[in-house]
Structure 1
Amino acid sequence: MTNKPEDDKPGFNTALVEELGAILGKLDLSEIEVEQDGIRVRVSRQMATQVSYSPPQSVIAPPPMPVAVAPVAAEAAADHPGTIKSPMVGTAYRRPSPDSKPFVEIGSVVKAGEKIMLVEAMKTFNEIVAPRAGTVTALFVDDGQPVEYGAPLLVIE
């Protein structure tokens, strides 16, 4: 460490502080402290800390509201002759799009072959059609609800 004549002040060497600052930058240190000739010098710098925040990419939707079950209980629906069951594992949709009205409601009169629901599996929407004409007397799923193979979807009497 050099001591220049202009730095000569009683008991203090500013060149030392400059050299310590250079060492901080070179070694990427946040603080350094030395003692020389009974004088202790500590040099520190604030390290810039980057904090990044990413909002969640998707919002978890609340669970669907339960559907009012008509006179036929869900457990008995599997045995009811008018029960339409899910042909696959997937997600049941009662409407063609989120802003559309449902295909059917309890009390809706349907014709044979009429689209009554969609079941989405592996990004493919499969139409569920009425196998016969009749009146929808029970609904067991809500829009966006997961369904298993053979799960009762609705009853047509």
Structure 2
Amino acid sequence: MDLKEIQNLIKFVAKSGASEVKLEMDDVKITIRTGSESDTTIVQQVPMQAAPVIQQQAAPAQPAAPVAETTVPETAVSEDSKYITIKSPIIGTFYRKPSPDKPVFVEVGTEIKEGDVLCVIEAMKLFNEIESEVSGKIVKVLVDDSSPVEFDQPLFLVDPS
């Protein structure tokens, strides 16, 4: 197994959501674990007599939410074009509050500046504060609290003026 194949395997495991994958072949043993801030890869040259074995411990799958197609009137699109869309930088669960007993980070109408915390996204038991990269006023919150979000999914609309 060459380096390029190992790199492709690491990318595949990272995208699959599996928490750990073990691959044992004739003279190579690879273990890939995800769940920390960086992927851990162990490659060992081990003399083995058994046939290739692949073990995979998959993370619990989340049920996919049904996607409803909606048509947006052109007037709404042209109105929204003057706003800046703040998108999710990661996959995870969107939270508007730092904890259940605290107030929300931002409401519609809140003035924000660069560096202000807008929300928290939980990914693999880590809570990531999402900070604003723009200054302006929150016009719309596009995601419900405690909802799963995808990478690059719009979270907020901001009026920069």
How high is the TM-score relative to the length of structure 1?
0.49
Q: Which is strand-richer, 1 or 2?
A: 2
Query: Is the radius of gyration larger for structure 1 or structure 2?
Result: 1
How high is the TM-score relative to the length of structure 2?
0.48
